[in-house]
Every structure is written in structure tokens, then in C-alpha cells.
């Protein structure tokens, strides 16, 4: 995958109560290796757009193209991470991270080896026989990400991935998850309501207007030093400036 194109997406929901216009003409290009975050008022259509990109719902109008081809043929390229880690409590961590491969009949020796390498690299190997309830929230999110990465998706879709965690854990988890994503060279589209999280992790922030969602502004994030971790970026003087710019845009919508 080199390029994901979101082209003139419109979405209207129909229900007994009437029609809800959720998205109104959103277009966006995401290149390989990008980390793009979408922020905006609650109920503005962010999750709706993620679901459309993931092919889970069909837009009323518009297209999603991967390298110029219609999305239908590319659903295998997406991996997901949600607020809830969706680990199975009755399976140990090893079985949890293996389950995707099992379901897809892809338990090849090389895929299993890759999982073991990731468990080791991302400090979960010694917990492989533990059950999810014995792990911290951040460790659970790491396990959930390894399970997703096992299927080797090109694009990761993160929907409020840390919002179930307490403040300290979410700072640490976003740092760790960021490191894994960069190391594995994945392309990411993340929805978050946390401006600081968006600034510390992304290269671009897309600000949605209130419903129906339109792109109000796009802000490029560049801390000049690519080796900075999300935690280090929070301490950089540029962080405050980016925060103020994003905040101002969101505030105008109140």
C-alpha cells in the first residue's frame, strides 16, 4: 500500500427518527508511513469515517481508494485497535495474540516466529502464560496490538485506543504503542478526543467541524527531531504552540 485516498465522502444515517447528516464531503490522502489523527467535537462523525475507511459501513456518496483501486479488494490490509482491547479473558496472552492467525488459518512457522519475536521485543514474552486480568491496562493494549500486527496489516485504524486507561498509563501506553508502530513501519489513522495525544503521536492532525463533519483545518506537526518520543515531544516548546492552534480551532466550534 502506498496511498489511501478518501474521496468526497458523504454519510447520511436514516432511522425512524429521520435523517442524520454525519459527514459532508470529506477528502483526505494518507501516504504510506503517515500517522494521521482526526480530532473534533463529540458526535461529529469521526468514528463514522473510520468505519467507512475500514469498509464496515458504506458511505452515502464517495469512494475509498487504495493505490487507485476500489476499497472492496483491500479489506485485509486494515488492522484495528479500539478503546477496549478485546482480549479474551479465558485465553492466556500467547493464545490471545495467536487467535487472529488461527481464525485466518495462517499459523505458519514464520508467522508464529514473528509473534514470538514481537512478544520478546515488546516485553511480553515472560507474560505469555498469564491471563489478561493479570496484566496492566498498557500491557493489555500492547498484547492487543501484537495480535493485530500478527496479520501484517498495512494500515492501522485506532479509535480512541487509550481512553479506557488512567492518565499515567495512557501516557506510557501511547509512548510504547508509538514505538511499536514506528518500528513496524505502519500507516496509522487515529481518532482521539485528546489533543495532546494527537500532537505527540501524529505527523498531521485533521480537525473536524461539528456535525455534519467537514475538514475544518489540517495542521502539520513537525518537531524537527524525528527521534523524539511522544513523551519527549510533550516537553518540547513547540508542543504548547500546536496545542493552542488545535484548541483555538475546536473552540471556535463551541
Residues making contact with ligand ADP (CB under 6 A): 13, 15, 20, 22, 40, 42-48, 211
Structural contact between residues 151 and 100, judged by C-beta atoms closer than 8 angstroms: yes
d(CA 132, CA 142): 11
Q: How far is the CB of 43 from ligand ADP (least distance, A)?
A: 4
Cell numbers that stand for 179 in this block: 514505538
Q: How distant, in Å, are the alpha carbons of 15, 29, 51, 248 from that of 67?
A: 34, 11, 19, 35
Catalogue the long-range contacts made by 139-143 (C-beta closer than 8 Å, 24 or more residues apart).
140/85, 140/87, 141/81, 141/85, 141/165, 141/173, 141/177, 142/173, 142/176, 142/177, 142/180, 143/85, 143/87, 143/93, 143/96, 143/97
Closer to ligand ADP by CB, 22 or 181: give it: 22
Closer to ligand ADP by CB, 20 or 232: give it: 20
Closer to ligand ADP by CB, 23 or 146: give it: 23
d(CA 120, CA 114): 10
Closer to ligand ADP by CB, 60 or 232: give it: 60
d(CA 233, CA 139): 22
Q: How far is the CB of 52 from ligand ADP (least distance, A)?
A: 10
Cell numbers that stand for 19 in this block: 435523517
Closer to ligand ADP by CB, 42 or 227: give it: 42
Q: How far is the CB of 123 from ligand ADP (least distance, A)?
A: 32
Closer to ligand ADP by CB, 14 or 224: give it: 14
Cell numbers that stand for 99 in this block: 487467535
Q: How far is the CB of 151 from ligand ADP (least distance, A)?
A: 25
Q: How far is the CB of 214 from ligand ADP (least distance, A)?
A: 13
Q: How far is the CB of 149 from ligand ADP (least distance, A)?
A: 24
Closer to ligand ADP by CB, 44 or 141: give it: 44
Q: How far is the CB of 13 from ligand ADP (least distance, A)?
A: 3
Cell numbers that stand for 119 in this block: 512478544
End-to-end CA distance of the chain: 38
Estimate to the nearest angstrom the gap between the alpha carbon of 37 and the chain centroid.
8
Amino acid at each position: 500500500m502506498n496511498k489511501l485516498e478518501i474521496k468526497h465522502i458523504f454519510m447520511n444515517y436514516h432511522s425512524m427518527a429521520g435523517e442524520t447528516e454525519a459527514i459532508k464531503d470529506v477528502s483526505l490522502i494518507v501516504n504510506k508511513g503517515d500517522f494521521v489523527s482526526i480530532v473534533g467535537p463529540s458526535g461529529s462523525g469521526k468514528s463514522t469515517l473510520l468505519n467507512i475507511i475500514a469498509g464496515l459501513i458504506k458511505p452515502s456518496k464517495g469512494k475509498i481508494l487504495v493505490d487507485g483501486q476500489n476499497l472492496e479488494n483491500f479489506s485485509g490490509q486494515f488492522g484495528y485497535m479500539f478503546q477496549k482491547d478485546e482480549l479474551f479473558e479465558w485465553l492466556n496472552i500467547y493464545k490471545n495474540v495467536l487467535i487472529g492467525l488461527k481464525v485466518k488459518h495462517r499459523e505458519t512457522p514464520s508467522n508464529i516466529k514473528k509473534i514470538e519475536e514481537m512478544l520478546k521485543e515488546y516485553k511480553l514474552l515472560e507474560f505469555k502464560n498469564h491471563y489478561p486480568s493479570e496484566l496492566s491496562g498498557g500491557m493489555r493494549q500492547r498484547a492487543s496490538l501484537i495480535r493485530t500486527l500478527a496479520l501484517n496489516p498495512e494500515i492501522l485504524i485506532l479509535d480512541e485506543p487509550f481512553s479506557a486507561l488512567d492518565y499515567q498509563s495512557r501516557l506510557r501506553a501511547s509512548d510504547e504503542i508509538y514505538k511499536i508502530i514506528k518500528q513496524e513501519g505502519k500507516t496509522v489513522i487515529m481518532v482521539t478526543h485528546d489533543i495532546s495525544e494527537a500532537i505527540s503521536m501524529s505527523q498531521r492532525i485533521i480537525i473536524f467541524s461539528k456535525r455534519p463533519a467537514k475538514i475544518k483545518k489540517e495542521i502539520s506537526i513537525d518537531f524537527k527531531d524525528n527521534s523524539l518520543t511522544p513523551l519527549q515531544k510533550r516537553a518540547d516548546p513547540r508542543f504548547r504552540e500546536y496545542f493552542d492552534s488545535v484548541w483555538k480551532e475546536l473552540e471556535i466550534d463551541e
